[in-house]
Structure 1
């Protein structure tokens, strides 16, 4: 039983992370207002929540002000994969910057805590490895990825200026690569790309020689970290890295996906995209210290939980998974 039921706003609530966060907060006994403009999010993602009396859906673009009454805000609104944030880069920057301004203004008016989902992309192509929160980054300010990287960096600036100037209660999480059910087939992320290609028997496309590394955090671990961060004392503002410090090369990921799917797909190599970071791995000492958090689900186990979701999608079946228990306990 939740100690105090809150009414919580989740922007980007019909996206990959937002769907899991809405579900987690409902399971914790809260009322949820899910806001999404459905640019990358999908109504289908949250259909299983619509009959819940404590869940409300509002179609809205956070680049416009929102006048509501809530107790907490999780700001997740922004396309997060290169395919989507590069489709309309001006709108991506506006979503990060104007969206932050509008949500911070709402939090200021209501005098409530607000959590910003920032990103490991603020570190750019890092010269420090693994990346601690104290590292300022190595970012191209005018490249094809800059709309996302710099938009998120500016949003962090706004959050900390609102905190210093207006005493606003803020939390900033820097999210590293995350994967799991409710990812889109066409989002262009490496995990979803490899699983889709393997299941369809297509060539697995690796950019460069595959030696570039990433860390992969299973989505339920990530969501647990976000909720823990929101519930820390006011003096814990972040930024705090949330991700899995286990580091894998892209080639290792491809080979693991092939083994788990039993696919006979071949691995082919394409030119490396501009500004693609060579290494990305979080230093999670702050998360361990302030949140008592660390990831529990290893990459192979997480992939075993994710692959059936994509198999269902490719068969045209429902998006639900047994692990999410989406059918029953929330429809009350």
Structure 2
């Protein structure tokens, strides 16, 4: 009999790729998403499959899934600055109430649950590269605090359910991940740069561009998540690509990749924007036998192919979703 997995945030960038992976592995997949930032086009190819079902549901309210569940992958959350700055309350709620609801469901179903945390728990780090033992440097009341603290609380309540209720839990700390199905105008570095290049605009770099990021291709991230879920390890694990690059140098790579002749323009650095971001993946290597396989050159070529095939309407439209009904004033 096939194992059954619930994937929240299923219509999002990472969630949709996880759905694909679990379908490929022969699982029965239950996708769940409230579609605030997700898009059904990311999973519409799965609707015809007998082993896929979809619930349009907000996990911050009571979550009920009939039948047995073996695994839960909790990936429901806004994940880009443009989203969590627009919907800060919803971001906090999905990290707190949503995680609480899904841990309760895992306890009821005797299911193993993996929660998607993030490198943002490290804030603007004073330790480099970042190990799982580093507690972070986070501004709790800054604009990014709604996302950072949602994820830090998420980790805390997950470990509480593990220790107090004996729930099988896994914590995935995701570093910058990219690939097809990212939203073009979601405010993250790669879709922002590619969108600007494809529209013939100058590339916007914040600060002096010396801040660094480490970009992991989505297939590698999904592989790491899958291995962690199937492991016996309950403490947090970094999954990311340790190949670090400055934002200024990355902008030059984008110009070379796209064959455009735009220049790089500089703007003020947003408050609390991390200056360094590089994962220490020693635990992933030792515990999961995982390390990234896809080079930035290969991954960016695939990602660029995806974006350059978008329609002109998609390329030039701005994010316009109305979040007002989801914000409690």
Could you tell me which residue of structure 2 aligns to residue 237 of structure 1?
A: 234
> 1:64-143 counterparts in 2 under 5 A?
64-68=61-65, 69=67, 70-143=69-142
- Superposed CA deviations along residues 150-172 of structure 1, whole A, max 9, x for unmatched, are 00000000000000100110000
Per-residue deviation, 1:266: 1.3
Q: Is the contact made by 1:6 and 1:71 (CA closer than 8 Å) also made in structure 2?
A: yes
- Superposed CA deviations along residues 189-219 of structure 1, whole A, max 9, x for unmatched, are 0000001111111010000010000000000
Could you tell me which residue of structure 2 aligns to residue 287 of structure 1?
A: 284
SS class of match (2:187): coil
Q: Is the contact made by 1:125 and 1:278 (CA closer than 8 Å) also made in structure 2?
A: yes
**2: distance between equivalents of 1:76 and 1:122?**
16
Per-residue deviation, 1:238: 2.3
What count of residue pairs does the alignment treat as equivalent? 312
Could you tell me which residue of structure 2 aligns to residue 308 of structure 1?
A: 305
**1: distance between equivalents of 2:264 and 2:90?**
34
Structure 2 residue 37 is the aligned partner of structure 1 residue 40: yes
**1: distance between equivalents of 2:61 and 2:128?**
38
RMSD: 1.0
TM-score by length of 1: 0.93
Could you tell me which residue of structure 1 aligns to residue 58 of structure 2?
A: 61
Could you tell me which residue of structure 2 aligns to residue 214 of structure 1?
A: 213
**1: distance between equivalents of 2:281 and 2:301?**
25
Detail structure 1 runs of 4+ shifted over 3 Å in the superposition.
314-317
* Aligned pair partner of 2:274 in 261, 274, 277: 277
Per-residue deviation, 1:316: 5.7
> 1:319-330 counterparts in 2 under 5 A?
none
Structure 2, gaps ≥5 residues long:
315-329
Q: Is the contact made by 1:256 and 1:300 (CA closer than 8 Å) also made in structure 2?
A: no
TM-score by length of 2: 0.93
